[in-house]
Amino acid sequence: MKIKIGTFNLFQFAKPPYSWYTKKDKFSNIQWSQKSNWIKSQIKNMDCDIIGFQEVFSSDALECLVKELGFDYFIIADKAKLSTNNPSKYVTTTVALASKYPITNLQKVRVHTPTLKKHNYKGHFSFSRVPIKATITLPDSKELLVYVCHLKSNRLNAFEYSFTKEDTLEHKQKLVFETIDDKHSIALQKRLCEASSLFFDIQKVKNRPKVLLCDLNDKEFSITIEALTNYKYHNNQRKNNYILKDAYCYYTPIIYNPHPEAKKPKRDATSYFLGRGNVLDYIFISDNLTKVTDYKVLDQHLKDNPNGSLLTSDHAQVVCELDLSI
């Protein structure tokens, strides 16, 4: 059996007359119709069985939209909150999960308290967006555990490192922990606490196929990915041992009539900032789901406008096809 899973940051999905964060930021009815129609078209192009969504304000509107497209099952783990001073203005957002197969269980992802101490986090801690942890029952009665998350964004534009494939975990930790100790990146500190809490929740579940659909708000090879997936990040006495791996790494596209000197294709960016592309949106999979038969990034709207448009999205959509029969 093959299934297609995807992740989709909707970019301020707030149905009028509601606004997001500030009173003036809202869609007109015409703009909302344009945005909704684009989202429907994009979901059809994704052709998925399961989709995780980020930046969901109007969850009721999203539920209606996806059910029109054949997703009979829809859940959120939290509702976006409205301002106490302005009941038409959203001040928080949330994530959502849509599935063509039954969602049979929803569980809470708990904060891992020792993680807060490790990262010297002070004060009350909660996830920026409450993550989803849900069981989906497939036609052959196989259960798939699906997480959806949207980690803390770097709104303060604090300094954060960019790493490469050659950078070791030890090198990343040395630089990043010095930055955190000096309080130069509060957003990264919180993101690492969120990623670590997800790690400890995910690693408790043994012998079940697991996927994580996410906007990490961090780049490829980042230390956030280490905190989310690697045992060694949490215990340096262990060797590198990953509970999840990037689905992109398991897919080799077929290249017809390849040039003998051709280099490996560069990974497509999923978001742009100041004209530079980054990979922020990921699908992570467990070791028993490593047969990836397709992987694609839907980014035509970003090629037309790298900064994205409120009528579309400022993120590309990522789709992965898994062969569960292997």
CATH at residue 239: 3.60.10.10
Residue 323 pLDDT: 94
Task: Compute the average pLDDT of residues 301-316.
Answer: 94
Whether the Cβ atoms of residue 103 and residue 136 lie closer than 8 Å to each other: yes
What is the C-alpha to C-alpha distance for residues 16 and 31, in angstroms, rounded to an integer?
Answer: 9
* Least trusted range by pLDDT, from 1-5, 105-109, 113-117, 140-144: 140-144
Within-domain flag for 55? yes
Beta strands, E only, the chain? 2-13, 19-20, 50-56, 73-76, 89-90, 94-99, 103-107, 132-137, 143-150, 210-215, 245-246, 271-273, 276-278, 281-285, 292-298, 317-323
Q: How many CB atoms lie within 10 A of CB 161?
A: 16
CB 52 within 8 A of CB 148: yes
Residue 25 lies in a domain: yes
Q: How many domains does the chain have?
A: 1
Mean pLDDT computed over 246-261: 78
162 lies in some domain: no
> Taking residues 216-234, what's their average pLDDT?
97
Whether residue 175 is contained in a domain is answered as no
Share of the chain above pLDDT 90, in %: 83
CA distances from 245 to 53, 63, 117, 199, 210 (A): 20, 30, 26, 12, 10
135 belongs to a structural domain: yes
Mean pLDDT of the chain: 93
Q: Indicate whether 185 belongs to any domain.
A: no
Confidence at residue 239, expressed as pLDDT on a 0 to 100 scale: 85
- Split at pLDDT 50, 70, 90, the class of 310 is very high
pLDDT (average), residues 220-228:
97
At residue 257, the pLDDT reads: 60
**The domain containing residue 62 runs over which residues?**
2-155+191-323
Alpha carbon distance 27, 50 (integer Å): 27
**What pLDDT shows up at residue 77?**
96
Residue 188 is inside which H or E element, if any?
A: helix 186-203
Percent above pLDDT 70 for the chain? 95
Q: Please report, as a single letter, which amino acid is at residue 247.
A: A
What b/e string do you get for 2-30 counting C-beta neighbours within 10 Å, with b at 16 or more? ebbbbbbbbbbbbbbebbbeeeeebbeee
Between 39 and 263, where is the model more confident? 39
**Does position 173 have pLDDT exceeding 60, yes or no?**
yes
- For the chain, the straight-line distance linking the first and the last C-alpha, in angstroms and rounded, comes to 9
Spatial distance between the Cα atoms of 232 and 235, rounded to a whole number of angstroms: 5
* Average confidence (pLDDT) over 152-163: 78
Name the helix (H) or strand (E) containing 303. helix 300-304
182 domain residue, yes or no: no
CA dist 318 and 310 (Å) reads 19
Is residue 225 a part of any domain in this protein? yes
Residue pLDDT, tens place only, 176-209: 998 888 777 889 999 999 999 999 999 999 889 9
Higher pLDDT pick, 253 / 130: 130
Specify the 3-state DSSP secondary structure of 51: strand
Residues 105-110, mean pLDDT to the nearest whole number: 96
User: Tokens 């803390």 — which residue?
Assistant: 152
Helices and strands of the chain, counted as H and E runs: 8, 16
pLDDT confidence band for 76 (50 / 70 / 90)? very high
